[in-house]
Structure 1
């Protein structure tokens, strides 16, 4: 199945929004069975400021639907989301 990279940048000063939706986000993405690798981007202070997720999805439409249903998206956390097809060259997913 194809892989997609989701590069998501938080809105400025939104750490409180992120923390409020974090448990729902973690439970949801883990429960989809689509997430292969993921974690937060960090700012210069070490605070979470975005997310990188590598997911397995049928196609780009399914990857966009994954993002649309993410509790972080529903909470209005993201300033921007870039979704692109991804292929592993080094390492294993």
Structure 2
């Protein structure tokens, strides 16, 4: 099952994000094809990161929650909030 994980950074936490970015990216890469899409949300002018959006695939919500909790960003206290919601891909359709 796919899940969308939406994370909002705490205000003024750019230094926490920068200090943990390498570990965060390595963590994501260790999950291989479990990561459908991942990337930061940005300020309107694109000059700074404000959070993260990930679309991941796990057998159940508990797996998505463990994945989210073990992310180096989460362990470093970067996020003000995290939401996890089930998601179903509709478009684009897979080739026949």
Q: TM-score, normalised by structure 2?
A: 0.90
Q: 2:13 corresponds to which residue?
A: 14
| CA RMSD, Structure 1 to Structure 2 (Å) | 1.5
| SS class of match (1:73) | helix
Deviation at 1:44, TM superposition (A): 2.7
Q: Pick closer, same or farther for the CA change 1:13–1:45 going to 2, 3 Å.
A: farther
Q: Which segments of structure 1 move beyond 4 Å, counting only runs of 4 or more?
A: none
- TM-score, length basis structure 1: 0.93
Q: Unpaired runs of 5+ in structure 1?
A: none
Where does structure 2 lack aligned partners over 5 or more consecutive residues? none
Q: Does 2:35 correspond to 1:35?
A: yes
Q: CA deviation at 1:92?
A: 6.5
The CA deviation at 1:90 is 1.3
Query: 1:19-77 deviations in whole A, cap 9, x for unaligned?
Result: 11001000001112221101000013420110000001010000000001100000100
1:41-56 paired onto structure 2 within 5 Å: 41-46=41-46, 47-56=48-57
The alignment covers a number of residue pairs equal to 92
